[in-house]
Structure 1
Amino acid sequence: MYFASLPPWYVAGSFNHLPPGTASAMTFTESITTCFNKYATFDGVATRSEYWWFVLACWIASLLVGMVSNNLAIVVNLATIVPSLAAGCRRLHDTGRSGWWQLLGLVPVIGWIVLIVFMVQEGKPNRYDVTAAQA
């Protein structure tokens, strides 16, 4: 039975399915605020929720602005490229990898698939996580 195998820290109906002591999941607005506050911060880590909410926000903004004006969409995409790269770098740090792995995205299809697999993996304490190193 599926429910019998759920961990004890799982709370039904909650979006924060993380064990105690791990970083908490971010909301949509917290993620966007954090990523823009860390506009060009390539050190540290980013949780899965922080990264994926920010990616969703960038996609939605690009889509909506693109419906109005292609030139304006280019401006929005250029304005979000640095925080997107920074968030991606921090996300890879959370999985224990260097941010340079983002260059794998330059390889069509296979590189994208591998990069997505890296980005969806659960974070773990590593040398990039300043808070885990201090504890």
Structure 2
Amino acid sequence: MYYYLSAIRQYVNFRGRERRKAFWHFYLINIIIGFIFAALDGLFGTINAIEGSGTISAIYGAFIFLPSLALFVRRIHDTGRSGWWALLLFIPIIGFLSALYFSIADGHPYENEYGPSPKHLSFGR
């Protein structure tokens, strides 16, 4: 939960670097919350038949969009690349493949232009 809340608090921080561990913890919790909200949408009947998503899920999606994007940019920075690579997310198939690559790629082991390695700064987190 620490990494999830940390990403929420840094929702407009597009600078610096983020470890894979923090990235995956955030997304795991995000998926669990998404399933809970989807279940609530089904339970309350708030699913829009045309769009296929529910009101509660849509509100959560809007809330989590910016923190997710900022976290992804910091993750890209950890691999030593510019955050502009995040624009690939908006291209079908290529976006998915690039997101998969950046989310599993090992971070640059030493300081890069985006800051020191978060792996060596985290002290066990």
Q: TM-score, normalised by structure 2?
A: 0.76
Structure 2 equivalent of residue 51 of structure 1: 23
Cα drift, residue 95 of structure 1: 0.5
Structure 2 portions without partners, runs of 5+: 42-53, 119-125
Consecutive unaligned residues in structure 1, runs of 5 or more: 1-28
Contact map agreement 2:11 2:66 (CA 8 A) in 1: yes
Deviation at 1:114, TM superposition (A): 2.4
2:39 to 67, 76, 80: 67
Q: Find the partner of 1:126 among 102, 107, 112.
A: 112
State the superposition RMSD in angstroms: 1.6
Q: Distance in 2 between matches of 1:65 and 1:131?
A: 35
- CA deviation vs aligned residue, 1:83-115 (integer Å, no higher than 9, x gap): 000100100000111111111112211331123
Q: Which residue of 2 aligns with 1:22?
A: none
User: Are residues 1:116 and 2:88 paired?
Assistant: no
Of structures 1 and 2, the one scoring higher in RCO (CA 8 A, sep 6+) is 2
Code of the residue aligned with 1:86 in structure 2: it is A
Given that 2:37 and 2:57 are in contact with CA atoms closer than 8 Å, whether structure 1 keeps it comes out as yes
| Partner AA of 2:59 in structure 1 | V
- Count of matched residue positions in the alignment of Structure 1 and Structure 2: 104
Preserved contact between residue 76 and residue 85 of structure 2 (Cα < 8 Å)? yes
State the TM-score, normalized to the length of structure 1.
0.71
Q: Structure 1 segments of 4 or more deviating over 4 A?
A: none
